[in-house]
């Protein structure tokens, strides 16, 4: 292991706590963005699974923003010296509802940092543990593990990994990832990453063919598909993994398949060509 890797390891165990309150306006806005009819948001209304991402937003000053629209390296997250940063996946345990009107605290801890070498060069994986507590409770309502991957800039000779054909499921919904959808989700999550809205930047600097659909948005759409099909379902846990980027150039699909045990729902996203782009599993209580 290099001295630089040792320096990144020094971030393991670092922790920070931020506070927020569950106000109704973000719920109304995401509800509209996901094309649901208007719904009540009175005090006590529970958040749908993953909608906690509308809170604890990263309030970095404009002078603290880097060239890619993210906050400059360092601070809470380790200063990984690789230019491309992506949300690779996550795991969630839902213990109690988070409700409109709650005062909430999120304690985040760097759980692990690991370095690997892939086909396109060096990769650094950072796993962050988030615990969300409501109204001063000692036990978390939600525990989330957030997987971040940093990688080298795309080179002219890089070859994409072979795609995996997505299965055909019982549930299927088409999503059109137009500029407005991506903009609204970026705004709702205060996400300044330019790969989601700056076409010149994403194509000329990062070398992608189009705007990239947010991984958390696709994960939210997978959970939204479950909610549409099983509106009374009580989700105990959820995990997702990004497999391939999804671009705004074509419509894509979110898919689902309830399993024989009656509690496990397999969920996945597929692009216009039928390739798997995200895989996920939800477990019901």
Domains and CATH numbers, the chain: 3-284 (3.10.129.10)
CA distance 281 to 267: 6
Do 129 and 143 contact (CB within 8 A), yes or no?
yes
User: Residues 35-71: pLDDT tens digits?
Assistant: 999 988 999 999 999 999 999 998 989 998 888 888 8
Question: For the chain, where are the E strands, in sequence order?
Answer: 15-21, 84-94, 103-118, 121-134, 142-151, 171-175, 235-242, 252-258, 264-270, 276-284
Q: Which of 107, 49, 95 is nearest to 265 (CA)?
A: 49
Reduced to 3 states (helix: H, G, I; strand: E, B; else coil), residue 160 is coil
The DSSP bridge partners found for residue 105 are 19, 133
Q: Which of 59, 54, 86, 55 is nearest to 71 (CA)?
A: 59
User: Residues 90-125: pLDDT tens digits?
Assistant: 999 999 999 999 999 999 999 999 988 877 678 999
User: Residues 214-268: pLDDT tens digits?
Assistant: 999 999 999 999 999 999 999 999 999 999 999 999 999 999 999 999 999 999 9
Average model confidence (pLDDT) for the chain? Answer: 92
């Amino acid at each position: 292991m290099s001295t630089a890797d040792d320096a990144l390891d020094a971030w393991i165990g670092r922790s920070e706590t931020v506070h927020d309150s569950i106000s109704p306006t973000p719920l109304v806005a995401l509800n509209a963005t996901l094309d649901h009819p208007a719904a009540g948001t009175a005090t006590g209304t529970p958040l749908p699974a993953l909608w906690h991402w509308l809170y604890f937003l990263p309030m970095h000053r404009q002078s603290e923003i880097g060239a890619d629209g993210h906050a400059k390296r360092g601070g809470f997250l380790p200063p990984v010296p690789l230019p491309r940063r992506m949300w690779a996946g996550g795991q969630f345990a839902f213990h109690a509802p988070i409700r409109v009107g709650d005062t909430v605290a999120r304690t985040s801890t760097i759980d692990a940092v690991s370095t690997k070498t892939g086909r396109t060069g060096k990769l650094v994986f950072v796993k962050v543990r988030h615990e969300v507590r409501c109204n001063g409770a000692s036990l978390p309502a939600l525990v989330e593990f957030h997987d971040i991957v940093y990688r080298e800039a795309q080179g002219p000779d890089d070859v994409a990994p072979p795609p995996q054909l997505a299965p055909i499921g019982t549930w299927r919904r088409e999503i059109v990832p137009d500029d407005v959808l991506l903009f609204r989700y970026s705004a709702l999550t205060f996400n300044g990453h330019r790969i989601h809205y700056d076409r010149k930047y994403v194509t000329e600097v990062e070398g992608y063919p189009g705007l990239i659909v947010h991984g958390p948005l696709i994960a939210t759409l997978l959970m939204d598909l479950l909610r549409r099909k099983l509106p009374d379902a009580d989700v105990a846990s959820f995990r997702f993994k990004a497999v391939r980027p999804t671009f705004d150039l074509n419509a894509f699909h979110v898919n689902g398949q309830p399993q024989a045990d009656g509690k496990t729902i397999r969920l996945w996203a597929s692009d216009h060509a039928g390739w798997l782009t995200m895989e996920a599993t939800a477990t019901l209580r």
